[in-house]
Amino acid sequence: MQLKGKIAIITGAASGIGREIALTYAQEGATVAIADINLAAAQKTADEIIAAGGKALGVAMDVTDEAAVNAGIDQVAAAFGGIDILISNAGIQIVNPIDQFSYADWKKMLAIHLDGAFLTTKAALKYMYKDNRGGTVIYMGSVHSHEASPLKAPYVSAKHALLGLAKVLAKEGAAHNVRSHVICPGFVRTPLVDKQIPEQAKELGISEEEVVKRVMLGGTVDGIFTTVEDVAQTALFLAAFPSAALTGQSFIVSHGWSMQ
Ligand code: NAD
C-alpha cells in the first residue's frame, strides 16, 4: 500500500500505459481518476477498480480543451478532497515525413502531447499549491524525448519539450512540495503502437516484421518490448519516492534502446 490515501488523476487512462498505471496505483491504495476523451472506456476501467475493492472515477476529458481540463480536475478534487498525483499521459501518434506532414496534424500532435501537459499541470497545481499540500506530476515522455526517428517530427518535438516543462516545474514547484518527472518508455505493445506497424511498413517500404525487429526493437539490448507493467512500476516508484532528491528528471525504460 505505497500510495494509501493519495488521490491520483491519470489522463489517457482508458487504454494502454495509463490504464495499467491506474490499476497499479489502485492496488497500492490510491484513489484514481481515469480521465480520457473516451468516457465509456474510462468508466469501464474505473468500474473494474471499484469491483476489485478500490476507489475510482471515470472523467470525460479532452486534454486539449482548457475548459474541459479545468472542469475535470475540479470534479476530481471536489469528489475526493484534493489532488496528489497527476500523470499526464494521453497521447496519439501520427507518422509522416516532414515535407508531407499537414500543419493541421502537426498542431493536433502538439496540442495533445504538449498543450495537454501544460493545461492539466496548471489545473492540478491549483490544488497541489493550496496550503503547500504538494504533489507529484509525471509526464509520459518517450525514448523520443531523447532520440529521434524518421516520420515522427511533432511527436519527437513534443516529447523533447516535456523535459523542459518538467525541469521548470521542478524549480517552481519545490517551494510548494511539488515534484516532477518524465518517464521515457521504449516501444510498448499498446493500440498506439499496433496502429503504427502497418503505417511505418508502408512509409518505409519494408515488411511489418521488419518494422518490429529493426525499427522498434533493433536498438534494444535484447530485442524485447517494454511492457505496460514496466512503465507502471516506474510510475509507482516515482510517486512513492519520499523526497525531492528525485525531481525534474527523466527515467528511460527501454531495454537499453536509449541510455542517458
Ligand atoms: P493508447 O492508445 O493505448 O492510449 C492512449 C489513450 O489516450 C487512449 O485511451 C485515448 O482515448 C486517450 N486520448 C487520446 N487523445 C486524447 C485527448 N485529446 N484527451 C484525452 N485522452 C486522449 O496509447 P499508449 O501507448 O498507452 O500511450 C500513452 C502515452 O505513452 C502516450 O503519451 C504515448 O506517447 C506514450 N508512449 C507510448 C509508447 C508505446 O510504445 N506505446 C512509448 C513511449 C511513450
Query: Cα separations (Å) of 156 from 10, 70, 103, 122, 198?
Result: 22, 27, 16, 23, 20
Q: Does 223 contact ligand 1 (Cβ within 6 A)?
A: no
User: What cell was used for 57?
Assistant: 472515477
Q: From the CA of 175, how far away is ligand 1's center (Å)? A: 31
Domain ranges within the chain, ordered by starting residue: 7-186+227-253, 189-225
Task: Give the CATH number of domain 7-186+227-253; options: 3.40.50.720, 3.40.50.300, 3.40.50.970, 3.50.50.60.
Answer: 3.40.50.720
Q: What is the pTM of this model?
A: 0.98
- Pocket mutation for ligand 1, best pick of 190, 225, 255 (most atoms within 8 Å of C-beta): 190
Q: CA-to-CA distance for 123 and 203, rounded, in angstroms?
A: 39
* Ligand 1 atom nearest 187 alpha carbon: 40
- Pocket mutation for ligand 1, best pick of 10, 11, 15, 231 (most atoms within 8 Å of C-beta): 15
Taking only the tens of pLDDT, the chain with its 260 residues reads: 999 999 999 999 999 999 999 999 999 999 999 999 999 999 999 999 999 999 999 999 999 999 999 999 999 999 999 999 999 999 999 999 999 999 999 999 999 999 999 999 999 999 999 999 999 999 999 999 999 999 999 999 999 999 999 999 999 999 999 999 999 999 999 999 999 999 999 999 999 999 999 999 999 999 999 999 999 999 999 999 999 999 999 999 999 999 98
**DSSP 8-state secondary structure symbol assigned to residue 226:** B
